[in-house]
Structure 1
Amino acid sequence: MISTRAAAPLVLLLLSSCTLGPDHTAPQISLPAKFAEGSATSNGDVAKNAWWTAFSDTRLNGYVNQGLSQNLDVLQALERINQAQAAVISAGAGGLPSLDLSAQGSRSGADRLGGTPSASALAEQTSVSGGPTASWFLDLFGLYRRSKEAALADLDASYASVDVARLALLSSVAGAYIDVRFYQERIALTRQNLDSRRETLNLTKLQLEAGAASRLDVVQAEGLVNSTLSELPGLETQFRQAAHRIATLLGLPASSLIADLQRGARQPVARFSPKSGVPADLIRNRPDVRAAERNLAAASARIGVAEAQLYPSISLGGSITPSYVKGGGESGILSWSFGPQLSLPIFDGGALKANVKSSESAARESYLSWKQTVLGAIEEVENALAAVARDGRTVSALRATVKSYQEALELATASYRDGASSLLDVLDAQRQVSTAQANLAAAVQTMAQDYVSLNVAIGGGYAVGSTAKTEVASAKVVKD
């Protein structure tokens, strides 16, 4: 028969395995087998897919690599990992035994006021005391175990947040670079059109001198030249603003890259088509989805923290304090204490139960946030797929449009030189060419931006050059 004294530790050991609150289970969501305009083939892991290299632009490649290593948002996210790691240690420390060591010493005495010197001094004494103090919170209901579980989930979310920051950087740098090249193309086209319209103005002035044109023709040609001149400052401003954006993303002063980018290059055009994968890939590949799932895990663990506070808590504590006194004689005392401390919540006005309800509601909110993140990711891929599938047709049609209007301008100019048509025909043809060229440049810009959007939407490329931990979400897809 086991004695009561021997059974007590066994009972405490059994109680210590009790952990309140729900265990986190992988959230579930029903997803289609494929995207509306995608294939049924999975992408696998695309985290290390350097999709921006499809633009075959070494300067863009260099900017991306530089940004991944020194972007300030990414560096801040990395610091939050350090904070989360420290929080894990702090959360678990409360359930471990603690030991403090203290010591103190003093010397005391007194002097008589008046009297002979030999009798003025009373006995002096020296006292020293100190010793260890230990305590241990018995985590009977999993208060600190659940706290550590939540902290570990927060740590995983912090790792995922770094990936979110890296993915956002890829989108921003590539997008700003595409804008830079678009505005440079617009500036070049505007200057070409300006040269063409100045030639028309000079021709009109010659015909005015020959009596073949009117002053009205000259004024109209001058107006078109000045209108073209007015477009340049705005385009140059937009070019600089996009260049400033790239520099800031790279952690540099805004004007650092102006000289480098002014060298110019063609508008980026991707040399191959991206693969969208299937909706289920997003749960693994999208870092924001993984972060949302880890936030849900943390919220579920905090329900157990709140429930554990409803129950009694027991702490074991003890201290040993030796003391030594010297003065007129010597003496030493060794004092000690040991025992449990019980705390039982009886009446708190409903605050602890309200905390449990609040934690449960926060967990449900986290699930809804996770689901919203998944559905938002699917929408982003569907939108990008729809755009990418049609951008090429738009660009092809506009290239043909530019070619037709350029031929019309050549014919109108030749006819005007021969006096067979009016200046108005030439000016209209020039406007049509200018508009078609601007539309084509904008369509090429949009096609490149949509390519970026699709690759970012499927969660590609954020792990290129990264040594950070990548947590794979454990969410489940329920087939329809």
Structure 2
Amino acid sequence: AEEGLRARLASLLEQQSFTDLVTPPSQEPRLFSTPADTIGNRPDVQAAEELEEAAHAAVKAAWAAYFPDFFASFSWLQNQGYNGSGANDATWQIAIQARLPLWTGGRRQAQLSEAKAQRRAAQYQQEAVKQSARAEVVAARGAWLAAQAQYRAAQSAVAAAEEVTRIQTDRFAEGRLSATDLVDAEATLADARSELVSSLVRWWKADDALRLAVGLAPAAYDEYTGPVK
């Protein structure tokens, strides 16, 4: 049954074989500095900032409609022998024009008001995104610390189960303990060790979540060599 399961896993992973067991993590995550304002690397925060800057530029463009437009032109003409003396004569002209609509039916004011409203909306959206990001950082840090505490508790449980198993093994060797009780102690130890590995995996997941909350890649991302989808 196990060989059949491995064969199916290999087929799903497009591998010729699937014989190696998955190696559980052995190292512990390291807590890094995560102040609440460390959110500048998050894509959603950067996008909100870009939208606010674009809205601010739109307000400036709307204000520019109240100022006149200036135009300049230059022309130069050379006349050959038409000045009465037979010599060449050159004429040039420079013109500067200014254009300012005196009445637009309220169009400029409407455009300016709309641009200001969009800028305020972008500012509110930016602040909402930042507040949400800060809350995610605080929550992720709390989850990280909780996962760390669970792992430490699992370590203590393994140590206690190992001591109980040692005592029960000695008692069984002396004939003072039944085989059933010894098996129960060993099963408890196996469960404790399994929970230790699971708690370490959860701790690493919490570490990844904390890194994502501050806009960083997971710690093991640089070591990944598989396909990127």
Gap change, CA 1:348 and 1:436, over 3 Å in 2: farther
Identity %: 18
Q: Distance in 2 between matches of 1:372 and 1:230?
A: 52
Unaligned runs of 5+ in 2: 16-20, 173-177, 218-229
Determine which of 312, 319, 340 is the counterpart of 2:75.
Answer: 319
Contact in 2 for aligned 1:319/1:336 (Cα 8 Å): yes
SS for the counterpart of 2:97 is strand
Q: Distance in 1 between matches of 2:33 and 2:143?
A: 14
Determine which of 105, 128, 136 is the counterpart of 1:372.
Answer: 128
Contact in 2 for aligned 1:286/1:459 (Cα 8 Å): yes
Gap change, CA 1:300 and 1:450, over 3 Å in 2: same
SS for the counterpart of 2:75 is strand
Gap change, CA 1:311 and 1:444, over 3 Å in 2: same
Higher RCO by CA contacts (8 Å cutoff, separation 6 or greater): 1
Q: Distance in 1 between matches of 2:156 and 2:8?
A: 28
Gap change, CA 1:439 and 1:332, over 3 Å in 2: farther
Deviation of 1:383 (Å): 1.2
Contact in 2 for aligned 1:268/1:448 (Cα 8 Å): no
Q: 1:274-307: CA deviations, max 9, x gaps?
A: 3333x3x43xx62345664464344223212112
In the alignment, is residue 395 of structure 1 matched against residue 154 of structure 2? no
Determine which of 7, 11, 31 is the counterpart of 1:273.
Answer: 31
Q: Distance in 1 between matches of 2:8 and 2:194?
A: 14
Contact in 1 for aligned 2:70/2:97 (Cα 8 Å): yes
Residue 207 of structure 2 corresponds to which residue in structure 1?
451
Q: Distance in 1 between matches of 2:139 and 2:55?
A: 32
Deviation of 1:453 (Å): 3.4
Gap change, CA 1:308 and 1:318, over 3 Å in 2: same
Gap change, CA 1:357 and 1:338, over 3 Å in 2: same
- TM (norm. structure 1) is 0.32
Q: Distance in 2 between matches of 1:353 and 1:268?
A: 63
Gap change, CA 1:233 and 1:357, over 3 Å in 2: farther
Unaligned runs of 5+ in 1: 1-225, 242-254, 256-261, 462-480
Aligned length: 194
Deviation of 1:266 (Å): 4.2
Q: Distance in 1 between matches of 2:88 and 2:23?
A: 88
Matches within 5 A, 1:113-152: none
In the alignment, is residue 287 of structure 1 matched against residue 64 of structure 2? no
Contact in 2 for aligned 1:274/1:451 (Cα 8 Å): no
Contact in 2 for aligned 1:311/1:345 (Cα 8 Å): no
Alignment-mate amino acid for residue 315 of structure 1: F
Q: 1:73-111: CA deviations, max 9, x gaps?
A: xxxxxxxxxxxxxxxxxxxxxxxxxxxxxxxxxxxxxxx
SS for the counterpart of 2:63 is helix
Q: 1:151-178: CA deviations, max 9, x gaps?
A: xxxxxxxxxxxxxxxxxxxxxxxxxxxx
Gap change, CA 1:345 and 1:266, over 3 Å in 2: same
Alignment-mate amino acid for residue 372 of structure 1: A
SS for the counterpart of 1:310 is coil
Matches within 5 A, 1:40-439: 226=1, 232=6, 266-270=25-29, 272-277=30-35, 279=36, 281-282=37-38, 286-288=40-42, 289=45, 292-293=48-49, 295-322=51-78, 334-346=90-102, 348=104, 350-399=106-155, 404=161, 439=195
Gap change, CA 1:451 and 1:336, over 3 Å in 2: same
Contact in 1 for aligned 2:52/2:126 (Cα 8 Å): yes
Q: Distance in 1 between matches of 2:157 and 2:27?
A: 21
Alignment-mate amino acid for residue 210 of structure 2: L
Contact in 1 for aligned 2:25/2:201 (Cα 8 Å): no
Contact in 2 for aligned 1:310/1:353 (Cα 8 Å): no
Question: What RMSD, in angstroms, separates the aligned Cα atoms of the two structures?
Answer: 4.9
- TM (norm. structure 2) is 0.58
Contact in 1 for aligned 2:66/2:108 (Cα 8 Å): yes
